Structure 1
Amino acid sequence: MNTHADTSDVRDNILATGQRLMAGKGYSAVGLNEILTAAGVPKGSFYHYFGSKDAFGEALLDSYFEDYLAEIDVTLALPGLSMAQRVLRYFEVWQQTQSFFDCQGKCLAVKMAAEVADLSEAMRLSIRRGTSGIVSRLAAAIEAGVAEGSLAVSGDATTTARSLYQLWLGASIMVKIERDVAPFATAMQSTRDMLHLSPA
């Protein structure tokens, strides 16, 4: 019997369940009992892995960003595409996964960022680490795109990457407010403008 694997499975199940629930409702609206009931585990199991709800939130965000950054790495290394096409693909995937009806845990950072930044310093720092990882990857991709000639930027790559991330984060919030995906179309056009790409 592989006890380590079983232990890891229980922890991962709690995290996955919490991610799905909190992506839909937010951090504060989801209680531990709801997570544990949905995950089918007793409360003692939760405290075996996490010392508190905030510790769980930090672990949840760390796990989310680890997976998210791995997905970005795959997207930005897709074969047969220019770096400009890869960057646009990243934002196309962003648009597809940031549904205002049911994001299935894909929009956890968008859902929780503003809420938990003032609730927990540990969770704020987790989000900061994660978003910094996103920006650094985008910056490297933009630099590579400039070098290969598939895109161009007016300023430096890091500033452009940060501006793009902030643009899409804001668009995601507006999509939820308006219950319409039009802000994504605006964000995509602005992205093309910033990267000096022709219209689609």
Structure 2
Amino acid sequence: MPVTRTRSADTRRNILDAAQRIMAHKGYSAVGLNEVLAEAGVPKGSFYHYFGSKDAFGEALLESYFDAYLADMDRVLSQPGQSAAEHLMGYWRMWRETQSFDECQGKCLAVKLGAEVSDLSEPMRLSLKKGTGAIVERLERVIISGLSDGSIAIDGTPRETAQILYDMWLGASVMAKIHRSLEPLDTTTAMTRRLLLP
């Protein structure tokens, strides 16, 4: 790969990383492109060299976020020597640590932007739908594995249970921000155990 193409990809990555950090705190609409570019150390006039529009930038931001999130999720869900139930509970522990109200280090973007951008941008809504759908699919696969290894017992179907759990944790993350308390996440952890464990 030529040096200029590598440098261009690095600059694009820096812009997305800076945007993720800032928008995890402020949201999408409250952050101007100039603020993101200044944080990334990129000249103001060069934004459209890297992104065709603000919508294209938003899509790229969410795709980048979900790529990293799903890689972390896959790592947690494939720890050797653990049952499917232990994999899932490890994932929820990671969620609690990274989605908390205080400091999410840019790892709570789906929680922060979900409701905000779904009404503003159809391409961004579709990126959120695709990314959250990939999370639910992974949860479903681990639940199926847990039914096989006997570490999980559920009343509904694996897909329904995966969707309910994801929705519950997403809602708890919003409530944790509203109340400035981890109690909603702790309550959801207890409910998750009741829904999954024999």
Q: TM-score range by the shorter chain?
A: over 0.9
Give ranges in structure 1 of 5+ residues lacking alignment: none
Q: What residue is the counterpart of 1:29 in the other structure?
A: 30
Q: What residue is the counterpart of 1:179 in the other structure?
A: 180
Letter in 2 for 1:73: D
How far apart are 1:100 and its partner, in Å? Answer: 1.2
CA offset digits 1:5-60 (Å, max 9, x no partner): 11110000000000000011000000001001111101232111112222111100
Q: What residue is the counterpart of 1:167 in the other structure?
A: 168
Task: Give the whole-Å Cα distance in 2 for the aligned partners of 1:44 and 1:76.
Answer: 42
SS at match of 2:38: helix
Q: What residue is the counterpart of 2:45 in the other structure?
A: 44
How far apart are 1:99 and its partner, in Å? Answer: 2.3
The answer to whether the Cα contact below 8 Å between 2:151 and 2:197 also exists between their aligned partners in 1 is: no
Runs of 4+ in 1 over 3 A off after TM superposition: none
Letter in 2 for 1:165: Y
Give ranges in structure 2 of 5+ residues lacking alignment: none
SS at match of 1:180: coil
Give the TM-score taking structure 2 as reference length. 0.97
Larger deviation, residues 61-70 vs 114-123: 61-70
Q: What residue is the counterpart of 1:194 in the other structure?
A: 195
Task: Give the whole-Å Cα distance in 2 for the aligned partners of 1:99 and 1:174.
Answer: 10
Letter in 1 for 2:38: T
Q: What residue is the counterpart of 2:103 in the other structure?
A: 102
Task: Give the whole-Å Cα distance in 2 for the aligned partners of 1:196 and 1:34.
Answer: 46
SS at match of 2:52: coil
Q: What residue is the counterpart of 2:120 in the other structure?
A: 119
SS at match of 2:120: coil
Task: Give the whole-Å Cα distance in 2 for the aligned partners of 1:30 and 1:73.
Answer: 31
CA offset digits 1:64-96 (Å, max 9, x no partner): 001111111111110111110000000000000
Task: Give the whole-Å Cα distance in 2 for the aligned partners of 1:180 and 1:17.
Answer: 27
SS at match of 2:154: coil
The count of residues paired between Structure 1 and Structure 2 equals: 197
Task: Give the whole-Å Cα distance in 1 for the aligned partners of 2:101 and 2:190.
Answer: 20
How far apart are 1:101 and its partner, in Å? Answer: 1.9
Give the TM-score taking structure 1 as reference length. 0.96
Task: Give the whole-Å Cα distance in 1 for the aligned partners of 2:130 and 2:58.
Answer: 14
Q: What residue is the counterpart of 1:20 in the other structure?
A: 21
Task: Give the whole-Å Cα distance in 1 for the aligned partners of 2:88 and 2:6.
Answer: 36
Task: Give the whole-Å Cα distance in 2 for the aligned partners of 1:99 and 1:166.
Answer: 16
Task: Give the whole-Å Cα distance in 2 for the aligned partners of 1:168 and 1:124.
Answer: 19
**2:92 aligned with 1:85:** no
Task: Give the whole-Å Cα distance in 2 for the aligned partners of 1:23 and 1:52.
Answer: 20
